[in-house]
A and B are shown apart, each in its own frame.
Chain A
Amino acid sequence: SAVISQKPSRDICQRGTSLTIQCQVDSQVTMMFWYRQQPGQSLTLIATANQGSEATYESGFVIDKFPISRPNLTFSTLTVSNMSPEDSSIYLCSVVSTYTQYFGPGTRLTVL
């Protein structure tokens, strides 16, 4: 299995600011994803973080709002830009290891 850590675990931010969330995996993985869970909702895939190339975004998500970096096979960042209260969610990093998808503990973001 893969062990995933995320920083920060939670944050409260002001409208219009940006927050960068870090995801660290204890082993090299090819596939890494970012998901969002809005209050009372299910998990929704934001994008695939590709190592060495631009992230691949799902419908409804754009790079300007959610820029992603993937400098190597164990680390990725997701930035939530120009935040609004609607961005209040849990953001989760996920990786595929041995054909199973594992999730980090999540970052709980509250935007005031």
Chain B
Amino acid sequence: DQQVKQNSPSLSVQEGRISILNCDYTNSMFDYFLWYKKYPAEGPTFLISISSIKDKNEDGRFTVFLNKSAKHLSLHIVPSQPGDSAVYFCAVPKEYGNKLVFGAGTILRVKS
């Protein structure tokens, strides 16, 4: 039973344009949602999170939107840079603050 789904395995975007990464979830009880970025040969790096009581959280070029009625969240990167090329995972806590359940990941390629 996949609790978190990232249906797009890859995304290619031109430098300077917007990258939109999507994630769907099944459980309405999740308290917050996280995005991680992973480069090859490195561990995932925390990027941004959003509480279930909010619908938007912004941090520099990164904005996460939460649509609770649709059980959908998205990560927007504006403007996209070649250094953003990585695998992006959405994740939810299985237990508060602790065990994480990850989506399958989306490979983002930003072309210069």
Interface residues of A (CB under 8 A from B): 4, 31, 33, 41-45, 48, 58, 92, 94, 96, 99-106, 108
Please encode chain B, from 24 to 58, with 1 for each CB lying within 8 Å of some chain A CB and 0 for all others.
00000000001010000111111000000000000
Complex CA gap A28/B29 in Å reads: 31
Set of chain B residues within 8 Å of A104, measured between Cβ atoms: 43
Q: Do most interface residues of chain A lie in helix, strand or loop, or is the interface mixed?
A: strand
Is B18 close to A, CB under 8 A? no
13 CB < 8 A contacts A-B = A31-B98, A33-B99, A42-B102, A42-B104, A43-B100, A44-B102, A45-B99, A48-B99, A96-B97, A103-B36, A103-B45, A105-B42, A105-B43
Using Cβ atoms and an 8 Å threshold, which residues of chain A touch B36?
103
- For chain B, which range describes its interface: under 10, 10 to 19, 20 to 34, or 35 or more residues? 10 to 19
Residue of A nearest to B94 (CB): A45
Contact of A106 among B43, B98, B99 (CB under 8 A): B43
Let me know if B98 and A42 touch, CB within 8 A. no
Shortest Cβ distance from A101 into B: residue: B100
Shortest CB distance B95–A (Å): 10
Q: Which 4 A-B pairs have the closest CB atoms?
A: A103-B43, A43-B102, A42-B102, A42-B104
Instruction: Return the chain A residue nearest B101 by Cβ.
Output: A45
Which chain B positions have C-beta within 8 A of A103? 36, 43-45
**Chain B, 52-88, CB within 8 A of any chain A CB:** none
Q: Report whether B43 and A92 are in contact in the complex, using a CB–CB cutoff of 8 Å.
A: yes
Q: A92 to B44, alpha carbons, bound, how many Å?
A: 9
Q: Which residue of B lies closest to A99 (CB)?
A: B97
Q: With the chains together, A96 CA to B93 CA distance in Å?
A: 12
